[in-house]
Amino acid sequence: MASLEWREDRLNWDALPQAPMELFADWHTVAAKTEPWEAGAMLLATANAGGAPSARIVLMRGYGPEGIRFFTNYDSPKGKVLADNPRFAVVFWWPSQVRQVRLEGNAARLPRAESEAYFEERPRGSQLGAWSSPQSQTIRDLSLLASQYDEVERSFAGQDVPCPPFWGGYLLQPDRVEFWQGGKDRLHDRALYTRNNQTWQLERLAP
């Protein structure tokens, strides 16, 4: 396995924006052009009411000044956990740029109209799949999913597929965002944004 090619890049502290999602947008735009797979892939970590952690890779489906969006089955383990404890941690890792972004904050369900609007944009096969899969439940084999998919496909034949009531989006609203730029000899550059009411405090962290 090839090792990382450490870069000489450094954060331009004189030009860092006041709000972290502006810098996130710049970094993601670069990663979207250079990552071989999916620049929107992120590790989403949650903890249940008892403090037991869990983590999984999900796909970001949009971002803005207020945070990051993703969509899922609300009855999935992550949906149930977020209902009990909305705190989250997210990690993006872009090896082509030797960059990492960490976000922590609270998750909130998106308005139903926004989830439905996004669902309408999905390929029909993905829409049918959302209705077909009892996400994360134990199944005997894949033939069950194929059978359920065929049944759902027949039930919606000749009509639009509506957004399931158990499916929708979340807005991940960060209150801490850290940008990590890898450097040679462990001289990494780290910028931490911490929300203070309606403003952001910016600090430089030692590697």
Q: pLDDT digit string (tens) for 181-190?
A: 998 778 899 9
Task: Give the model's pLDDT for residue 10.
Answer: 80
Mean of the per-residue pLDDT values of the chain: 92
Residue 35 clears pLDDT 50, i.e. is over it: yes
Nearest to 103 by CA among 79, 136, 131, 69: 69
Residue 6 clears pLDDT 90, i.e. is over it: no
Task: Give the model's pLDDT for residue 127.
Answer: 93
Kindly tell me the burial class for residue 34, based on how many C-beta atoms sit within 10 Å of its own C-beta (0-12, 13-18, 19 or more): exposed
Q: Give pTM, 2 decimals.
A: 0.89
186 has catalytic annotation: yes
CATH superfamily of this structure's domain 13-122+167-205: Electron Transport, Fmn-binding Protein; Chain A (2.30.110.10)
Asked if residues 99 and 180 have their Cβ atoms less than 8 Å apart, the reply is yes
Q: What's the mean pLDDT in 27-47?
A: 95
Q: Which of 7, 112, 176, 186 is catalytic?
A: 186
Q: Which helix (H) or strand (E) holds 23?
A: helix 20-34
Residue 207 clears pLDDT 80, i.e. is over it: yes
Task: Give the model's pLDDT for residue 18.
Answer: 94
